[in-house]
Structure 1
């Protein structure tokens, strides 16, 4: 899967499932602040990633993940 496809798919489910405004989505946006995530939302995010990409994420995967770009890179690595 190409990086552009990964980004597009992530952005689509952020808009659809997490009700993030499209204009708030940018690579340097802070993941927690932009998505206004709490601990239950992280569970939903993990489920969304698994259903959209077929990869499992665990809590340790989110260490050092601050921006949406970090998150895109994480998913790209997991798919690699």
Structure 2
């Protein structure tokens, strides 16, 4: 899966689950300050990413995620772990 494909999937997750317009979901957008996610939303996002990748996200790894770009990186590392 390419970075662009991951971004499109993430945009769909944000739109479907949090009502955030896809145009706002850009790599440098801060999840908490710009997209108004809270800690419960972050847990929901982690669950959706686990469903998307089929891999479990370690909570300590997800705590470092602050931007959409970080989410893309997390997905890429989960997918790489499958190879």
In structure 2, the residue matched to 1:50 is: 50
In structure 1, the residue matched to 2:12 is: 12
Query: Relative to structure 2, which stretch is displaced further, 4-13 or 60-69?
Result: 60-69
Where 2:17 maps in the other structure, the secondary structure is helix
Where 2:33 maps in the other structure, the secondary structure is helix
Q: Which runs of 5+ in 1 are unaligned?
A: none
Cα distance in 1 between the residues matched to 2:24 and 2:18: 12
Tell me which protein shows more helix as a share of its residues: 1
Where 2:32 maps in the other structure, the secondary structure is helix
Say what the alpha-carbon RMSD is for the aligned residues: 1.6
The normalised TM-score by structure 2 is: 0.81
CA contact (8 A) 1:46 1:57 kept: yes
In structure 2, the residue matched to 1:23 is: 23
Q: Which runs of 5+ in 2 are unaligned?
A: none
Which aligned runs of 4 or more in structure 1 are off by greater than 6 angstroms? none
